[in-house]
Structure formats: structure tokens, C-alpha cells
Structure 1
Amino acid sequence: MSSSWELLEHLRRRLIVFLGRNFFNVVHILAVRRDRRLAFSTYGASMETLHIPSSDEEDRTRKIKVHLYTPPSGPGSPGSLKPVVVNWHGSGWTIPFHGSDIAFCARIAKEVGAYMIDADYRKAPENPFPAALEDVKDVLDWVASQPERFDVSRVAVSGASAGGSLALVASSTLRKMLKVDVKAVIAHYPVTDLSLKSEDRIIPKPIKPLPPPILELFYSNYVGTDVAMRKDPRVSPIYAKINDYPATVVIVACGGDPLSVEAKRLADKLDDGKRKVVTCILEGMNHGYDVGAKPGTKQWDSRERAHALMIEALQLSFERK
């Protein structure tokens, strides 16, 4: 009886993931179309697709797909190499949204004058934790192996939603295992604590919130239901040691997003006077508000504000050797 129930539950979850991926893929295509035009026409993006070797012992031939954005000013000379920012997209660790941050990546490359690497990663439930985090480490180790291309002394990480969580983990618990020193982290409406219950995320005026059952589906697909595992700092960056975080941390949350509760808690925890913590709460914004934002809308204005904060923080971080 138990095995039959587990099989049915497994099939139910896989069906939901299948339907969810197809639905979100349509939304993704429509939303990103506008950002793609913006990236190339306004920000002058120069993008190439690379496939980085994976350390996956079970499949030595597997590669990690990344989009590499070169600053409009072109590559730096050997004596003046440019910094690099590595970004991971939102996904709930489940939805293939690689490329959804194209406007952000192109803008950072242009205005910060840095290489931007927008990296894909394996998705659950086919590839649960720690697969995504292993891909994160592989990409950063690859950056370290390219000192003739990048200034590996000036590296930052960024991400949105689940990608923001991966960036926060990379800049804290994973940071001491890396071959590069992460100087700054940018986290856009990140997930910081998978152990929180839905009643712990109640906010006064939620806007298009992700339903608790969907969040739970994402989380259990990624890391299972064990509470102790969900409090592992490699899963929930709020449990990482404060001193493991870099000198610059930017956390941008949305006032209408229940996930803002845990984002603000992490920002408050890190703001101990030992690092520069930039915290921004975008009132009236929902989770994922920025993808495909239209000029003249409140979403556009909020995205402009968020990007300006991120750009300034990265510029200041890269000025410090």
C-alpha cells in the first residue's frame, strides 16, 4: 500500500511539474521578448553561448550552458582586465527560465563595464540538491581558470528568487571552497529560508503571491521535506555564518511578496556594521515583477530603481581591490 501511494504521489508531482513548466515557458517567452529587444537595442549587448565543463562524476560529458555578455567597450587589455559578475535565474529550482534576466545582464555589462555570465543549472525534481549548487561551484571554478580573460580578483554573484538563493549560498557557505574571492552579492527577491511555514510569511497586502502549495512543491522537489535539511546553510542562506558573507550585500525584496519576510530577516541579520548592506523594499511590487516590465509602468520604475542600486554597489565593490 505504501509503495503504491508513493508511486501515485511521485506521478502526481511529476505531472504538476510538467504542466507548470509548459505554462511558465509560455509566460517566459512572451515576457522576455521585450527585454531581449531592450538588451540589444538600448544596452548594446554582445552575447555568446558557452558550454562549461561539469564536474559531474556520473556524466563526464555534461556541460553547463552559460550566456557570456561582453561589455560594449570590448575585452580589457592584459594589463586592465575587466571584472565579472555571475548570475543565476529564478526557477523555484524547477522551471527552466535561463535567459529571463537578459535585460539585467546586458545593462550590468554596459554600465558596470564588467563581463556578465548568466549561468544555467540543473533543475529538480530530476536533479535535486545539491545538483544546482554543484553547477554553481563549477561555473565559479571555471571563472577562476580564466585569468587571461577576467580579472579574477574582482568577482561578484547575483540572482533572482531561487537564483538569488544560490547566489547568497555561493557568497557565504560555498565561498570559502571557491578558487575566487566573491566581493559582492546581489539578491533580487531571494528565497532565504526554506524551513519557514506559510503562516510565517503572512504580509498585510500580498500581490499575486505564489500559492503556498506551489512553494512547497518547489521546495520539496529541490530538497525534500526534512526540516533539518531545509535549515542547512547550503539550502537556506539565512543560516550561514555572518562572517562568511562578503563585504557588499544587496538585497532587493518586493513589498507584495510574502518571501520579503525572510529576505528582510537576512538583511537585518547581516547589517552588523562589518559590511555594506544595501536593503531595498519595492512597495507595491510582486515576485517576478521585473521580467518584461513595460516603460512607463510602476514595474518599470521599480526595476530602474533596483538596477541603479545594484549598479552602484557593484561599481563601488569593484573599485576596492
Structure 2
Amino acid sequence: MSFLTYMFDKCFAVILRFIVGLAANVSATPDEVRHIKSRDAGRTIKVHLYHPSSSGPSPVLINFHGSGFLLPLHGGDDEFCRRVSRDSKYTVLDVPYRLAPEHPFPAALNDIEDAIKYVLSRPDEFDQTHVSLSGFSAGGNLALAASSSLFPRNTFRSLLVFYPVTDLSSDPGLKHAPVAGGRVIPLFVGRMFNRCYIPAAFDRRDPRISPLFAEANRFPQRILMITADGDSLALEAEELAQKIKDLEGWHVVSQRMEKCSHGWDKHSLGGTPQYEAKERAYQLAVDMLNDN
């Protein structure tokens, strides 16, 4: 990326972050805030924890928020994290990560790896046989990449992903929602997200970038894939889910939510189809976690 291109993307990112920040109004209420060490000297990662009512080493869900790899939306999954800690025995760690264009790939994935290693290093606090991952949008991409490319098979009990981007090698202009009329990611924004996140030196089909190209048997054996019929990322996510589902012994639940668009659960109103879809999606996540 040239310096001029970087400065353009940086300016656009600042403006977009300001606009989205006003609209999103993120306000999280975790039970605990913890600063865990990064691999980078003198740096920590600020993690939100949500505790269940049970005591002793608990199952743990490590969650990664949506961002387009660019937007600071940590805390936007507060409702989901609280639901899981309330309705299951799982402690939830809601983990932020560094953002592009200031910190392109693999910075975000490095932060994800550091957070997971932190959990795996604390058997007295977290049940190592029940470590699961979840993620929304870009966070879903990171959860898929981490589970299939960074850690040994069977490290994770379950994988819960919501409207993830799984193929960053394809131009966003070639992607279409299953049902026309949904609130899809604007084309120029999608292209900018991709350009900011992926340096030119990297192959966009690298499974750490595009999990669609990872070997199917590298993923956890229990997967929940939530997509939306008005989302242009739905078909590639469903393609990945089907590839994994074809394996013998894998339990894959793939659900496409009707009358929903990308990120629909973050702004749904009671009594609407979107709210009902959110309730159903979150309950499917809790059910998979509770299914020992």
C-alpha cells in the first residue's frame, strides 16, 4: 500500500469510525475488565469478562466482535455475552483486537491468538475441555481462522459464528445476498475494508485470511453458522458450513435468518421478525454450548 493510499484509507477510517460510533452507541456492562499481556512488549489487551453463577473452573467462550477489521466496536456484543453467561455455565471473554489500516493482517489474528493462549494457560480458572469460540462478521472470520489454522485439532469444543466473511479473495462486487433488498455492505466500503486489512504481500486465499480455503477437518467438530438472507456474505459462509457438514462425525447447524441483513441483531426492535431471529440465533448458541 502506498503512503498516499494509506493516508486516504486512514482519513476515511477516522470519518467512518466517527459516524458509526454515533450510530452504534456501544455501552457494555461486563462483570470484570481484565488486561492480559500481548506478545508485544509493554502492551495489553483489554478484555471484558461475563461470569456465570456457578463456581470452580468453568467452561469458557471467547468472543470476537464485528468490525470490518476497521471499526472499534468492542462491547457491541454485550447482550449476547450476557445471555450466554446467564443461561449456561460458561464464562465469556469478549476480546478486542487491533484494527486496520493502522494494524493490518496479521495484527488482529495475533491478538486473538494471544487471548486464546491466555485462556489455555489457566486450567485452574477455565475448563480446558470446554473452550469454545464465537464471533460476529469480521470477528467470525477471526474465530474461524484461529480454530482452523492456529491451534491443534480438538482444542475447541464448539465454534459459533454469525454472518462471517469467509472469502476475502473474491471482490465484494461479485457477492450477492440470497434475497434482494437487504441492507448489504456498500461495495466501496467492502473493498476498502479488504484493502485496509490485507497487505499486498499476502495471498488472499491464505486460510488465515479466507477460512473458506482451510481444510474442512481442521475446524472444531461442533459448529453453529448463522447467516442472513439479506446479507451478501451469506452464501460463502453457507458454502463453508456445507463443506464441514459433509465430514463424518461433525455436527454442523447452519441457519439462515429470513428478513434479516448483515448485523441485524445489533439493532432489532421487539415484535419484529429481526428481533425474533435474534432470539432464535442466540438460543441456538446457548443450546449448542449446553449440549455436553
Among 61, 66, 84, which residue is 1:90 paired with? 66
Q: Which residue does the alignment assign to 1:223?
A: 198
Q: Which residue does the alignment assign to 1:195?
A: 169
- Per-residue displacement from partner, 1:191-237 (whole Å, max 9, x unpaired)? 100011234312341411111111111111111356x6110000111
Aligned length: 290
Q: Contact conserved, 1:206 with 1:257, CA < 8 A, in 2?
A: no
Q: Which residue does the alignment assign to 2:287?
A: 312
Q: Which residue does the alignment assign to 1:182?
A: 156
Deviation at 1:274, TM superposition (A): 2.8
Gaps of 5+ in 2: none
| Cα distance in structure 1, aligned partners of 2:59 and 2:184 | 36
Q: Which residue does the alignment assign to 1:99?
A: 75
Q: Contact conserved, 2:51 with 2:90, CA < 8 A, in 1?
A: yes
Greater share of residues in helix: 1
Q: Contact conserved, 1:159 with 1:165, CA < 8 A, in 2?
A: yes
Among 83, 89, 108, which residue is 1:132 paired with? 108
**Residues 1-321 of structure 1: matches in 2 within 5 Å?**
6-29=2-25, 32=26, 47-56=31-40, 60-71=41-52, 73-74=53-54, 76-77=55-56, 81-176=57-152, 181-203=155-177, 204-225=179-200, 229-272=203-246, 273-316=248-291, 319=292
Q: Which amino acid aligns with 1:157?
A: L
Q: Which amino acid aligns with 1:52?
A: I
| Cα distance in structure 2, aligned partners of 1:144 and 1:274 | 25
| Cα distance in structure 1, aligned partners of 2:12 and 2:32 | 33
Q: Which amino acid aligns with 2:280?
A: R
| Cα distance in structure 1, aligned partners of 2:212 and 2:3 | 34
| CA separation of 1:199 and 1:221: change in aligned 2, threshold 3 A | closer
Q: Which amino acid aligns with 2:204?
A: R
Q: Contact conserved, 1:206 with 1:258, CA < 8 A, in 2?
A: no
Q: Which amino acid aligns with 1:314?
A: L
* Matched residue SS, 1:153: strand
Structure with greater Cα Rg: 1
Q: Which amino acid aligns with 2:220?
A: P
- Per-residue displacement from partner, 1:79-136 (whole Å, max 9, x unpaired)? xx21000000000110000000000000001111110000010111111111111111
Gaps of 5+ in 1: 41-45
Q: 198-207 vs 114-123, which deviates more?
A: 198-207
| Cα distance in structure 1, aligned partners of 2:267 and 2:31 | 19
* Matched residue SS, 1:256: coil
Q: Which amino acid aligns with 1:11?
A: M
Cα RMSD between the aligned structures? 1.8
| Cα distance in structure 2, aligned partners of 1:28 and 1:225 | 31
* Identity, % of aligned positions: 37
TM-score by length of 2: 0.94
| Cα distance in structure 1, aligned partners of 2:173 and 2:268 | 30
| Cα distance in structure 1, aligned partners of 2:104 and 2:220 | 27
| Cα distance in structure 2, aligned partners of 1:9 and 1:119 | 29
Q: Which amino acid aligns with 1:304?
A: E
Q: Contact conserved, 1:171 with 1:184, CA < 8 A, in 2?
A: no
Q: Contact conserved, 1:254 with 1:281, CA < 8 A, in 2?
A: yes
* Matched residue SS, 2:161: strand
Q: Which residue does the alignment assign to 1:43?
A: none
| Cα distance in structure 1, aligned partners of 2:186 and 2:206 | 24
Q: Which amino acid aligns with 1:302?
A: A
Q: Which amino acid aligns with 2:37?
A: P
TM-score by length of 1: 0.86
